[in-house]
């Protein structure tokens, strides 16, 4: 197991956001966490990357217990995250953003920089543009590219399709598969369950801070309960791209 979380509990003040989630991610997999708003998906990711602290349970990564490790140190052991809402540094240029991704590394990042530009040619075109002035899709690409700069063993993605036009969503998911093919393990949090289940190997369904189901992704795609709850039920199978009403200014 590359990443294993065991019975974690996380609180915001007195409110329990996560009530005992256990999950694991194997080397080379794409694993997705799906669920509605408030299910605890984002909190789970934040806890893995160290932005939130545990009140109970443990996180093991690469054979080490990292439960008490500070967030910035987890980057060094190999956990990379593209945060929810992208978290691009708005005043820095695209290139400066990418180089920030390599902040924790002491060696020369030019190889990863070239790789990021190869993966996202759009970013290469906009090298000198300020991160904050880019469209939503470009910012998402930048956030993913930046996370890859640290050469993570596992890449945590928090709703990469959020607010993007359907075509861009497709593109982002294709790139995620490509990143995985190149050897990076991916833990993906998504509300766009249809898309996520199509590219993932395994999936966990979260509901109000608990895992209610875990199975290979293909099985969940056919699961009637999951279909009813997250995939638009049996009303129509064309529910593939539920992001049709994304605001136009967020398009590519």
Q: Does 133 help bind another protein (rule: CB under 8 A)?
A: yes
C-alpha to C-alpha distance for 14 and 225, rounded to whole angstroms: 32
CB of 131 to another protein, least distance (A): 8
Q: Does 153 help bind another protein (rule: CB under 8 A)?
A: no
Q: Does 122 help bind another protein (rule: CB under 8 A)?
A: no
Q: Does 146 help bind another protein (rule: CB under 8 A)?
A: yes
Q: How many C-beta neighbours within 10 Å does residue 182 have?
A: 10
Closer residue to another protein, CB minimum distance, 112 or 250: 250
Q: Does 83 help bind another protein (rule: CB under 8 A)?
A: yes
Q: Does 36 help bind another protein (rule: CB under 8 A)?
A: yes
Residue 149: burial class (beta carbons within 10 Å; 0-12, 13-18, 19+): buried
Full DSSP string of 44-59: HHHHHHTSS--SEEEE
C-alpha to C-alpha distance for 125 and 34, rounded to whole angstroms: 34
The count of chain residues that interact with another protein, using the rule CB under 8 A, is 50
CB of 41 to another protein, least distance (A): 11
Closer residue to another protein, CB minimum distance, 76 or 111: 76
Q: Which helix (H) or strand (E) holds 137?
A: helix 136-148
Among positions 162, 179, 203, 205, the unique one binding another protein when judged by CB under 8 A: 162
Q: Does 132 help bind another protein (rule: CB under 8 A)?
A: yes
CA 83-88-90 angle, 5° bins: 150
Q: Does 191 help bind another protein (rule: CB under 8 A)?
A: yes
**Spatial CA neighbour of 55 closest among 19, 14, 11, 12:** 11
Indicate the SS3 state at residue 173.
helix
Q: From 14-22, 56-64, 132-140, 218-226, give the range in contact with another protein by CB under 8 A.
A: 132-140
Q: From 19-27, 113-121, 201-209, 240-248, give the range in contact with another protein by CB under 8 A.
A: 240-248
Among positions 68, 90, 224, 233, the unique one binding another protein when judged by CB under 8 A: 90
Q: How many C-beta neighbours within 10 Å does residue 244 have?
A: 7
Closer residue to another protein, CB minimum distance, 91 or 181: 91
């Amino acid at each position: 197991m590359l990443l294993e979380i065991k019975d974690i509990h996380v609180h915001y003040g007195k409110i329990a956001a996560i009530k005992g989630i256990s999950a694991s991610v194997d080397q080379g997999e794409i694993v997705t966490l799906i669920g509605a708003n408030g299910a605890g998906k984002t909190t789970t990711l934040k806890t893995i990357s160290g932005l939130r602290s545990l009140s109970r349970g443990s996180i093991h990564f690469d054979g080490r217990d990292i439960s008490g490790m500070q967030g910035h140190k987890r980057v060094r052991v190999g956990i990379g995250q593209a945060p929810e809402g992208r978290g691009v540094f708005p005043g820095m240029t695209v290139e400066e953003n990418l180089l920030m991704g390599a902040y924790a590394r002491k060696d020369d990042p030019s190889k990863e920089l070239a790789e990021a530009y190869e993966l996202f040619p759009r970013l290469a075109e906009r090298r000198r543009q300020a991160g904050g002035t880019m469209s939503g899709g470009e910012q998402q690409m930048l956030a993913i590219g930046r996370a890859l700069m640290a050469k993570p063993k596992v890449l945590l993605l928090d709703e990469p399709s959020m607010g993007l036009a359907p075509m861009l969503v497709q593109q982002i998911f294709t790139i995620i598969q490509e990143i995985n093919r190149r050897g990076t393990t991916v833990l993906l949090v998504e509300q766009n369950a249809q898309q996520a289940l199509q590219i993932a190997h395994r999936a966990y369904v979260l509901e109000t801070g608990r895992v209610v189901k875990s199975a290979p992704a293909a099985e969940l795609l056919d699961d009637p309960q999951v279909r009813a709850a997250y995939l638009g039920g049996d009303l129509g199978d064309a529910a593939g791209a539920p992001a049709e009403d994304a605001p136009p200014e967020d398009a590519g």
